[in-house]
Amino acid sequence: MDSWSSLAAGEQLVLESLFWSKAASRNELALRLRQSKSKANTVVAALIAQGLVAEVGHVLHGTGRPAEMLRISDTLGVLLAIDIGATSMSVAVLTPNMSILALHSEEVDVRDAQQGPTVVLARARTLALTLLERRGKKASDVLAIGIGVPGPVNMESAQLVNPPLMPGWGDFSIRDFMRDSFSAPVFVDNDMNIRAIGELRQLHRSVSNFLVVKVGTGIGCGIVCEGKIYRGATGSAGDVGHICVDINGPRCHCGNVGCVEAMAARPAVERLAQEAMERGDSEALQRHAGKEGALDLAAVGAASREGDVVANRIIQRSGMLVGQMLASVVNFFNPSHVFLTGSIVTIGPLFLAAVRQSIYQRSLALSTRNLHVQYTSLGDTGGITGAGVLAMQELLKSGRLRP
Amino acid sequence: MDSWSSLAAGEQLVLESLFWSKAASRNELALRLRQSKSKANTVVAALIAQGLVAEVGHVLHGTGRPAEMLRISDTLGVLLAIDIGATSMSVAVLTPNMSILALHSEEVDVRDAQQGPTVVLARARTLALTLLERRGKKASDVLAIGIGVPGPVNMESAQLVNPPLMPGWGDFSIRDFMRDSFSAPVFVDNDMNIRAIGELRQLHRSVSNFLVVKVGTGIGCGIVCEGKIYRGATGSAGDVGHICVDINGPRCHCGNVGCVEAMAARPAVERLAQEAMERGDSEALQRHAGKEGALDLAAVGAASREGDVVANRIIQRSGMLVGQMLASVVNFFNPSHVFLTGSIVTIGPLFLAAVRQSIYQRSLALSTRNLHVQYTSLGDTGGITGAGVLAMQELLKSGRLRP
């Protein structure tokens, strides 16, 4: 059962190992891949000769000789990462090691049937070409393209399947559209799955069962199960926004009542703040309101940072409800980590504290004894980095990395 | 990468394939294991010569020659299966193909600190020896022992880890205790995990992502994820009984409020029926009550089958609440099947109907489009069969099946 029977197979394993660990010495590679040092050295030499792997400096381990560190060569080309959300889009150019070379974000509304995939993707393509040019790169320098979208995806066809939020995107060929400008392979996945895969690489695959939960305009969840992205039977796993947290709660656009998204996501937080301000409950909210007297999340955050009791209560309520939903999920799934991200999460430490309190109060002790609830390590760049990791991972799997 | 490099490796794969598919022809084996017919024939011949595999009759496929069907030989020995629940215990003797040769069930209360593991396991051992004798078997005929317990298990040590329900069982060596009477290897897992693995074999591993949910004295869930039992980061995955279904609900023994177990499991159903009867709401419940005027689940079931409105309302309410909990889980996990079992589930078709209605109403369309909610195929013997499948699976993995 020697999977190193061919040089190519050994090369692929070394490249994947370097990618997921970010960098490693020859000895670490041999240990990790359970091969002799000489075998590992032979494969590494071949990869360096082909320009696929580069030596990037020394690391001192104990009293031994400093070890030469290796990683995937940054001269190979670049990756394009596109993170499409419900109300915004980010486009970035990344190195094969996930350093961001150029990044642009702007508002876009994929829920608007007037726009549809051709308008949004044409804009993404234009942004990508502009960013590439800014870094002196051409379309032909792109090794692979990774795209995250807010809906269920058929990974093989790289198409959305019955997306509830995105009119016109169902069965639209994103690959064909991008092919007009780029010959590189295109990989598409759900926006929460790419955040989960990005976090998985950030953790060097050291954590096997975790969730990445985003609380912004909507509430979504990416699931890593036994070290792999879990998609569910029909690709909709992680759709936690419509879990009920109050059987007497308000009606959600999905038709049900008490969905956590309807009660705790950005629109609910803004609406509650607006109502409190209009009742005259908070001088701070009034002060931070826009010209027309409209309150957005930034205003709620500003009031909260000033210690405004009303703003704080609204943020805590949102955190408590999200925590209540997560308590159900934690009881069922028993993850070791829950990573939080999104515009509401990062408004201040109150939200995280409320989520934690709610989870620890509502989950069983057995499930929370070793549970960590914390911010994602990638923060705002989680989507872009995740799209890059998706592109690089699929490229490595396909064995088409050779220049 | 030829895992058939040794005969032994090939033999193990053929045995595992026969076990999970229950029976197969030589051609089916070759196809399934991606080997040439001649290679498969060689391995099968060796297994038959060793008495590990037996020919069990012909099956006609289309117009071709009838195919000789193979399965693991029933003459190898027997398996012991012990299914310990919170309030009952079943012990059985099974063939290697999971036919039940002898079975005995009785009440036992593992929550009673006076009993503890030595009393319960001594009773299980006595029952096992009696059942073996009844079928003319000896302790030395036992190939392996599978045990299911209502708590979190460390599979390697075969011990319970901080079981909330079972005083005295934490870190007690079940293996050492059984070794006094049996030399066969002992495998222990959570009672819901064994039900899930039993169902997985019943389905010939044709379904990859499903749940087995038991509603009885408590509410628990076994999870199959990508074809394997999923245990979670610390072994407590599937602990769904304490998911909150009503933030204003009654207090549960766990300290929280509105847990589905406190509101919908057997004690809640019996209590609600008792209260209704005492209010004089139901003549049928009164008629079925015991001598002391006490109502148990059987009485509620009898009243329900007579069409008693009060009994039916109580059962439907329980089903609705369980369905509400499952809706959260389905949104998160997106399984293709939810299999239901347990004393409440099997009280009549009303419960299943209420669960279904509740799940389909509360889950997102994307998650339920291909969702099947149905009874387990194994029913009451799910625990015993699951414990047998656990024992046989682990025995095959260990390669110690050879007589």
The CATH number for B250's domain is 3.30.420.40
Token pair of B183 as six digits: 């030399």
Residues B310, B162 within the same domain? no
- Looking at the structure, tell me whether residues A173 and A60 fall in a common domain: no
Whether residues A237 and A325 share a domain: the answer is yes
| Whole-prediction pTM | 0.93
Q: Of all residues in chain B, what percent carry a pLDDT higher than 90?
A: 77
- B368 versus B182: the higher-pLDDT residue is B182
Is the residue at A41 inside a domain? yes
* Domain membership flag for residue B1: no
Domain hosting B66: range is 7-75
- Pick B236's closest partner by Cβ from A1, A245, A364: A364
Question: Does residue A3 belong to the interface with chain B, where contact is any CB pair within 8 Å?
Answer: yes
Do B254 and B342 lie in one domain? The reply is: yes
Q: B38 lies in a domain?
A: yes
Tell me, what's the pLDDT at A61?
67
Contacts of B247 in chain A (CB under 8 A): 245-247, 324
| 3-state helix/strand/coil string of B53-78 | EEEEEEECCCCCCCEEEEEECHHHCE
The residue among A389 and B403 whose pLDDT is bigger is A389
Is B403 within a domain? no
Give φ, ψ of B142 to 5 degrees. Answer: -80, 120
* Alpha carbon distance A178, B205 (integer Å): 39
Asked if the model's pLDDT at residue B65 lies above 60, the reply is yes
Supply the mean pLDDT for chain B.
92
Is there a contact between B329 and A328 if contact means CB atoms under 8 Å apart? Answer: yes
What was the pLDDT predicted at A142?
97
CB within 8 Å: B239 and A336: no
pLDDT digits (tens, 9 = 90+) for B302-334: 999 999 999 999 999 999 999 999 999 999 999
- Looking at the structure, do residues B390 and B298 belong to the same domain, yes or no? no
Q: Are residues A32 and A140 in the same domain?
A: no
CA atoms of A251 and A261, how far apart (whole Å): 11
Cβ within 8 Å, pair A231-B335: no
Compute the nearest-CA separation of A242 from chain B (Å).
7
The percentage of residues in chain B with a pLDDT greater than 70, rounded to a whole number, is: 97
> Hey, is B221 helix, strand or coil?
strand
Give mean pLDDT in consecutive 10-residue pieces for chain A, a chain of 403 residues.
58 93 90 91 93 87 79 95 94 97 94 90 96 96 96 91 87 93 96 97 94 95 97 93 94 92 96 95 92 89 95 97 97 97 91 96 86 94 97 91 63
Mean pLDDT of B44-72: 86
Contacts A209 to B, Cβ<8 Å: 232-233
A118 and B CB contact within 8 Å:
no
Asked whether residue A91 is domain-assigned, the answer is yes
Q: Are residues B175 and B135 in the same domain?
A: yes
Query: B92's torsion region: left (phi>0), alpha (psi -120 to 50) or beta?
Result: beta
Q: What is the ipTM of this complex?
A: 0.92
Tell whether A215 and A254 lie within a shared domain: yes
Q: Across residues B200-228, what is the average pLDDT?
A: 95
What does the pLDDT average to over B254-259?
Answer: 91
Comparing alpha-carbon positions, the chain B residue that sits nearest to A372 is B233
Which tokens in the block code for residue A339?
């990573």
pLDDT of residue B114: 87
Q: Which long-range contacts (CB under 8 A, 24 or more apart) does A152-158 make?
A: A152/A190, A152/A234, A152/A235, A152/A236, A152/B366, A153/A188, A153/A189, A153/A190, A153/A193, A153/A235, A154/A235, A155/A187, A155/A188, A155/A189, A155/A231, A158/A186, A158/A187, A158/A188
Same domain, B17 and B103: no
pLDDT tier for residue B93 given thresholds of 50, 70 and 90: very high
Give the pLDDT of residue A195: 98
Residue A248 and residue A185 share a domain: no
| Count of domains observed in chain A | 3
- pLDDT at position B403 is 52
pLDDT value at residue B402:
61
Residue A284 and residue A156 share a domain: no
Do B98 and B48 belong to one domain?
Answer: no
